[in-house]
């Protein structure tokens, strides 16, 4: 601490002063950075704060252990803000009495300072000309070590075990830990209830960080800051009964359920159940949709096949078509298009036909094939080649058209005035296809 700006009066020095406080005092911190005169408006507001803070209603949820009050406009020069945090094991009546005593004594110790802190046995009293409610501060800090030495006091482990319990509700926890044989250490940990969980957690960690420079090798002591405080002794100094104290976990970072507050653990359980339920419903709905789509596709395929079979009168046997085209001989090939090849064939009854053999990789499925059979078979026009039938077997999809004789095919493809070679006819058929 800076001795030019801070006045630290230990309780040992306070014995000679005629203070009205009836409770033991750890120490004071009076800041000389900001001073006021006795007749100023700030002095009037501070008098109102000191005389009224203990009589006001405590902060909701603090179990009567935290009082706060502000007087004056926040941006004004006469603004005054104060808090009083009592030890969590006190009754609300004892807390009110302790805050009243602290308000009287701190005025005598810091008579002209606008910022002051008093650390008492039962409470921490603080006032300032700046807003302090909801603002975490772990500096300045005060330390008083137990004069008794201890080789393994386990102070850090004990405070770490109390940390999770002192983060919620009234933000206070107390507990004990056996050191060796019959020796045990007792500790409490408290934080201002107006602070959030994150701020209190950081303040507790600062206290733990202060242990090496304050209480190393000692059996206990007190570490006090503006926003949180802790005390460790070799005897039970707090008034909580043994039944009200739950066993201390081994460390602050332990992942067992004992380390977590009950409310947080229940929240995690509810969240886990909700997520599991959602996933189960999602999977069931997904399976139902998949099966329905699969059934619909299967029904569609069956319907397509049934429609083809419905025109059985147009169906040719694959063996007959192979025989008619000399097993799809190259010599019988007339051309090739996007969906397959076209062959000339001669049926058993002597009728010449044009056979369109669809490629397996043509992309034309059963639906397209069925549509072409049904639609083309019903069309009759002098300029259209007549569809005689189809064949669908052994993964083959074949259309059988009427083959026009050379003379009429010539006229259909090229008109009446020119003669063309068979190769030219094939080329025209290729483009026509």
Question: Dmax over Cα atoms in the chain, in whole Å?
Answer: 139
Phi and psi at residue 304, in whole multiples of 5°?
A: -60, -45
Most confident of 3-12, 208-217, 249-258: 208-217
- Do the Cβ atoms of 8 and 19 come closer than 8 Å? no
Query: Contact at 8 Å (CB) between 401 and 433?
Result: no
Give the pLDDT confidence score for residue 244 in this predicted structure.
Answer: 45
For 13, the token pair is 């020095």
Cα gap 132→129, rounded to integer Å: 9
Is the omega angle on the peptide bond into residue 344 within 30 degrees of 0, that is, cis? no
| CB-based contacts of 230, cutoff 8 Å, min separation 6 | 159, 187, 188, 189, 190, 204, 207, 222, 223, 224
Q: Who's near 427: CB < 8 A, 6+ residues apart? A: 335
- For residue 365, the number of C-alpha atoms closer than 13 Å in the C-beta half-sphere is 5
| 290 or 259, higher pLDDT | 290
Is 356 annotated for ligand binding? Answer: yes
Average pLDDT, the chain: 77
How far from 109 is each of 39, 103, 294, CA to CA, in Å?
Answer: 18, 11, 86
> 102 is written with which tokens?
């602290």
Whether the pLDDT of residue 54 is over 50: the answer is yes
415 CB neighbour count, 10 Å cutoff: 8
- Residue-wise pLDDT tens digits, 92-115: 899 999 999 999 999 999 999 999
Please give the Cα distance from 201 to 195 (Å, whole number).
10
DSSP code at position 54: T
Distances (CA, A) of 6 to 32, 110, 229: 6, 11, 20
120 — phi, psi (to 5°)?
A: -110, 170
pLDDT at 344 over 60: yes
Q: How far is CA 114 from the centre of its chain?
A: 44
Q: What percent of the chain has pLDDT over 90?
A: 30
Mean pLDDT of 372-390: 73
CA of 206: how far to CAs of 225, 241, 250, in Å?
9, 28, 19
If you search the block for the tokens 């803070």, which residue do you land on? 53
| 123-127, 183-187, 319-323: least confidently modelled range | 183-187
| pLDDT of the residue at 223 | 92
DSSP 315: B
CA distance 399 to 390: 4
DSSP element (H, E) containing 30: strand 25-35
pLDDT for res 64: 78
Q: How many CA atoms lie within 13 A of 159 on its CB side?
A: 28
Nearest CA to 85 among 100, 104, 99? Answer: 99
The C-alpha angle with vertex 93 and arms to 90 and 95, in degrees rounded to 5, equals 50
Higher pLDDT, 358 or 49: 49
Token code pair at residue 85: 């945090």
Residue with more model confidence, 378 or 67: 67
More confident call, 187 vs 421: 187
pLDDT digits 0-9 by tens, 307-336: 555 566 778 888 999 999 999 999 988 888
Q: Reply yes or no on whether the pLDDT at 304 is more than 60.
A: no
Q: What is the pLDDT of residue 230?
A: 92
State the average pLDDT over residues 153-178: 84
């Amino acid at each position: 601490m800076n001795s030019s700006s801070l006045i630290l009066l230990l309780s040992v020095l306070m014995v000679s002063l005629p203070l009205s406080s009836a409770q033991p005092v750890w120490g004071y911190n009076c800041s000389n950075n900001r001073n006021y005169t006795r007749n100023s408006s700030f002095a009037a507001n501070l008098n109102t704060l000191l005389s009224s803070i203990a009589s006001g209603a405590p902060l909701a949820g603090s179990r009567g252990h935290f009082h706060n009050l502000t007087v004056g406009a926040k941006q004004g020069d006469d603004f005054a803000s104060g808090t009083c945090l009592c030890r969590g094991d006190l009754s609300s009546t004892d807390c009110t009495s302790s805050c009243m005593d602290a308000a009287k004594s701190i005025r005598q110790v810091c008579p002209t300072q606008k910022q002051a802190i008093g650390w008492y046995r039962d409470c921490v009293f603080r006032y300032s000309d700046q807003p302090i409610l909801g603002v975490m501060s772990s500096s300045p800090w005060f330390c008083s070590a137990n004069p008794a030495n201890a080789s393994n006091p386990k102070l850090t482990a004990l405070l770490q075990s109390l940390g999770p319990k002192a983060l919620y509700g009234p933000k206070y926890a107390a507990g004990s830990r056996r050191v060796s044989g019959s020796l045990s250490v007792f500790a409490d940990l408290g934080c201002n209830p107006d602070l959030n969980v994150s701020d209190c957690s950081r303040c507790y960690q600062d206290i733990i960080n202060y242990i090496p420079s304050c209480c190393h090798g000692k059996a206990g002591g007190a570490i006090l800051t503006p926003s949180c405080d802790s005390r460790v002794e070799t005897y039970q100094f707090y008034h909580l009964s043994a039944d009200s104290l739950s066993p201390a976990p081994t460390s602050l970072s332990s992942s067992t359920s004992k380390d977590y507050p009950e409310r947080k653990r229940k929240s995690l359980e509810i969240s886990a159940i909700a997520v599991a339920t959602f996933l189960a419903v999602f999977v069931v709905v997904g399976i139902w949709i998949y099966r329905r789509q699969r059934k619909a596709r299967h029904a569609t395929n069956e319907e397509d096949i049934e429609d083809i079979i419905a025109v059985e009168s147009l169906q040719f046997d694959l063996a007959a078509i192979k025989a008619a085209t000399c097993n799809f001989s190259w010599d019988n090939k007339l051309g090739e298009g996007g969906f397959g090849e076209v062959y000339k064939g001669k049926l058993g009854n002597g009728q010449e036909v044009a056979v369109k053999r669809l490629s397996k990789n043509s992309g034309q499925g059963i639906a397209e094939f069925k549509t072409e059979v049904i639609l083309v078979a019903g069309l009759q026009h002098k300029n259209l080649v007549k569809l005689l039938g189809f064949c669908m077997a052994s993964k083959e999809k074949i259309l059988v058209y009427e083959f026009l004789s050379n003379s009429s095919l010539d006229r259909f493809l090229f008109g009446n005035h020119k003669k063309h070679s068979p190769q030219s006819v094939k080329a025209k058929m290729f483009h026509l296809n």
